Homo-oligomer: A and B are copies of this chain.
Amino acid sequence: MGYKHLVQYYETDKMGCTHHSNYIRWMEEARCDFFKKIGYDYMEFEKLGLVSPIVGLNNLKFKKPSTFGDEIDIEVSVKAYNSIVLTAHYEMKKDGVVIFEGDSESCFLTTDGKMVIMGEQKFPGLHHTLKDLLENK
């Protein structure tokens, strides 16, 4: 379930490399692409009346730099899921070499801001998809 990001000039900083804040944005790009591939693009989320804000970022390791013109391969996997918080793991590679790793924690809210406990009653389709991805990883 790979996602590719081409590093843009405006993503570099005066050290000559990608500014580290952009990796957090690429995590989001890859996460959205991941949700789309499992059948939950943003339209689907909106139809369900769900938003999924980030509540935590952990273990972000900037191992090697990247810069303008580099093609970054990003793999997203389900690391943990407990009906409330989804922990996704990200591995980013350049030319086959891991340059970044990290985890995001996101929860699910209704569009009016109420926390959702997913399950048989609430959003069973997405719930079972995430559980299956966790078990089969």
Residues of A within 8 A of B (CB): 8-10, 12-17, 19-22, 24-25, 28-29, 32, 41-43, 51, 53-62, 65, 67-69, 102
Q: Knowing A10-B21, A68-B14 touch, does A62 contact B53 (C-beta < 8 A)?
A: yes
Whether B9 pairs with A53 at a CB distance below 8 angstroms is no
Which residues from B are CB-within-8-Å of A24?
20-21, 24
Measured CA separation A19–B56 after assembly (Å)? 13
Whether A58 pairs with B59 at a CB distance below 8 angstroms is yes
Which residues from B are CB-within-8-Å of A19?
9-10
- Contact partner of A69 (CB less than 8 A), chosen from B42, B54, B61, is B42
- Contact partner of A60 (CB less than 8 A), chosen from B13, B42, B58, B62, is B58
Measured CA separation A9–B16 after assembly (Å)? 12
Q: What's the nearest-Cβ distance from chain B to residue A121, in Å? A: 25
Whether B28 pairs with A21 at a CB distance below 8 angstroms is yes
Q: Could you list 13 A-B pairs, sorted by A, with CB under 8 Å? A: A8-B29, A9-B42, A10-B21, A10-B25, A14-B67, A15-B53, A21-B25, A24-B24, A53-B65, A54-B62, A56-B62, A57-B102, A58-B58
Which residues from B are CB-within-8-Å of A25?
8, 10, 21
